[in-house]
Structure 1
Amino acid sequence: MLIKGLMKEITREQLFAIPAFEQSFKDERFKNEIDTFLEYVNACASKDVKGVIGGLLKCACEYKLDIQMYKSIFLDLAWAVLENNRSLWTKEEKANGYSDIDSHWTLYPEYDGSFDDYESIVLDQTSYFEEVMDLITQEELLYKAEVCFALYVFFVQSK
């Protein structure tokens, strides 16, 4: 489990132990981005988990609202961090054995209910990686560390 306070700095070796990262960073487009990605992951590893999830939920609600894929990525990544932090789960989630990001919108206090009729887009790991790498090059995205950290958590889960 990746829980705030227990996670140490992630190394290249740990990153490449995850097949999705090993394959993706071999791609010519991304091979020079390893250090940047790791810096973002490690910058977020010591942040408050609630703040990380809240930042990702904020991105889902506010960042490039016309691009449905970004909404889906932000929500999936927020769920991945939540899924790995059972201490944040509701009693119902604990009883069911899995988390539900829809029960945690309080982590983004400005939430206005805009995802009541939301449908997720299913992506493969390569697409997740490519889209996140595209996101972190966009200057206006304020939550780059959270996005990279959550992608790391997401891929660790699916390892």
Structure 2
Amino acid sequence: MSKLLANALLFQLGWFTCILAGNSLWLLIVGAVLAIHLLWTSSWHAEGKLLISVFLAGSALDTFLLNLGLFQLPVESKVIPLWWALLWPLFASTLNHCLAWTAKPWWRASLLGALGGPLSYYAGVELAGIQMPHGEWPTLLLLAVIWAGVMPILHGFSSLYRSQYEQRLRTQR
């Protein structure tokens, strides 16, 4: 239980660091949070793959939404800033741990995604000075639909990498 709480607290520390510090040296805290997470996990291969996959997929998704005009950054950019992209591996670090309970049944992940995803974006947008040109409610409703699908997919990545890791362990014995 204490590792689950530590996982949740480390995620929150990383989240606030990203949102409040922007692209500054304070992002080294996020690196430390992710390093601590990887040191604590017993399946580095599965966790490392998950963090990288979610980082790439999530950054691509948010960059796509940025280019669709869902968000407007304070400075003109075609890609999300590093601090925003780092939110994705931080989030991935919770999937097998403090958010593992949302994996099954799939609708739990969808429900959490539909509620928690937009709330996280809303808080981040407010704190980071990002605009929602199409209005808050339409944007948050669209994010709810997107995140209702994203969460089960991310748990699918998590499950796949965990089973690949376990298979690898069985064949090494």
Where on the TM-score scale, by shorter chain, does this alignment land: which range? 0.3 to 0.5
User: TM-score normalized by structure 1?
Assistant: 0.34
Task: Considering fraction of residues, name the structure with more helix.
Answer: 2
User: TM-score normalized by structure 2?
Assistant: 0.32
User: Whose RCO is larger (CA < 8 A, sep 6+)?
Assistant: 1
